[in-house]
Amino acid sequence: MLAPPRDAITFRVPAGGIFRIASVEGPQVGDLNLWNANDLAERFYTGKTRALHGTHLTTGHRMWSSFPYLRPMATIIKDTLDWYGFDEYGGSVHDVIGTRCDPYTGNLLRGTQYHHCCHSNLTRALARELDIELKEAETHVHDVLNVFMCTGFTRDTGQYFMKASPVRPGDYIEFIAEIDLLGALSACPGGDCSSEHSSDVAACYPLKVEIYETKHGLSGTWRSPPVSGYDGSHGL
């Protein structure tokens, strides 16, 4: 299935299934949200994932879920952009630092009303998938894995930057779903994110999501991970 330019789609992957996000037609960045398909309260936690793995994810890294669950939701098993590493400016791909583009920041800084930021695309897609009101769907949208996006922090002042993504048609990132997943992917209005977000100016392309269901995961030893073993009493 295809996430159209400046829009988002949802998809479901059973635990043990494989899903792949691929570049087609042209360089394009995607914003990915993940939920436990059976409980939307368990969702991707960028901050903890960043603390455990670093600012950018690649093969072997896992996407961790929110408290009180804190378990791997998905593990990256293949990344065709792993050759990029970190460039001379400190930039790398697939970040968990840049949140998602949203209409609120544009309105704050420039007074704009733009409706196809990733935040809005993800909100519409989730509302459609679950047949719920936009306002409710919006409360479930969270910070993303910035698939294919090239970002970093400037070495001298530590400020966030983005630059043109090295992704080209044929590149992909592939995951195993550790639990039953509901995913949403937005094809960012920033395109390859070399210039601006939050407008229709950038060249923008679709992103392909492919799902491969496997019965027992990657090997006979694979098991869906349990939720956190903390007893939840918080000292009381």
Per CB under 5 A, residues contacting Zn ion are 31, 101, 118, 188
Q: Which two tokens stand for residue 225?
A: 């991970």
In terms of CB distance, is 31 or 171 closer to Zn ion? 31
Q: Is the dihedral of CA 114, 31, 17, 226 positive or negative?
A: negative
Q: What are the residues whose beta carbons fall under 8 Å from the beta carbon of 23, sequence distance 6 or more?
A: 148, 167, 168, 169, 170, 171, 172, 205, 207, 208
The order of strands in the sheet holding 2-3 is: 2-3, 207-212, 18-23, 172-177, 72-79, 62-64
Burial call 173-210: b when 16+ CB within 10 Å, e when fewer: bbbbbbbbbbbbbbbbbbbbbeeebbbeebebbbbbbe
Shortest distance (Å) from residue 102 CB to Zn ion: 8
Q: What is the DSSP letter of 226?
A: P
In terms of CB distance, is 179 or 188 closer to Zn ion? 188
Shortest distance (Å) from residue 118 CB to Zn ion: 3
Shortest distance (Å) from residue 100 CB to Zn ion: 6
Shortest distance (Å) from residue 77 CB to Zn ion: 25
Shortest distance (Å) from residue 31 CB to Zn ion: 5
In terms of CB distance, is 75 or 123 closer to Zn ion? 123
Q: Are 54 and 38 in contact (CB under 8 A)?
A: no
In terms of CB distance, is 173 or 177 closer to Zn ion? 173
In terms of CB distance, is 31 or 42 closer to Zn ion? 31
In terms of CB distance, is 23 or 75 closer to Zn ion? 23
Shortest distance (Å) from residue 182 CB to Zn ion: 20
- Which of these, 102, 204, 90, 199, lies nearest to 151 by C-alpha position? 90
For 92, the enclosing helix (H) or strand (E) is strand 92-95
